[in-house]
Amino acid sequence: MSPRFKMLGIHVIIFLTSFLILRIIMMQFIEEPNAMSIILPLGLAWLIAPRPHVTQLQSGKEYGLKFLFGKKVMKM
């Protein structure tokens, strides 16, 4: 598996997992479904999930994931 697809796969898995967990928690507090029960977990999952990060080096591209609240890049 190439590092690019591995990076994107991990990003999607973390995003979907955090969205589903936040959605389940929101459904415990909101009884009737509305737009906020979908938009709020999406926004929070977007903040929590790491962003894909590509660095161009002389030897080629280096792929990693970078969290919003951290400076360190997790390399693939």
Which pLDDT belongs to residue 24?
92
pLDDT band per the 50, 70, 90 thresholds, residue 54: confident
> Is residue 36 scored above 90 in pLDDT?
no
**How do residues 9-32 score in pLDDT, each as one tens digit?**
999 999 999 999 999 998 888 878
pLDDT mean over 26-52: 88
**Burial class of residue 35 in the structure, from the number of CB atoms within 10 Å of its CB (0-12 exposed, 13-18 middle, 19+ buried):** exposed
pLDDT class of 63 with cuts at 50, 70, 90: confident
Q: Where are the beta strands (DSSP E) in 1-76?
A: 51-57, 60-66, 73-75
Residue of 43, 71, 75 whose CA lies nearest to 61: 75
Phi, psi angles (nearest 5°) of residue 5: -70, -30
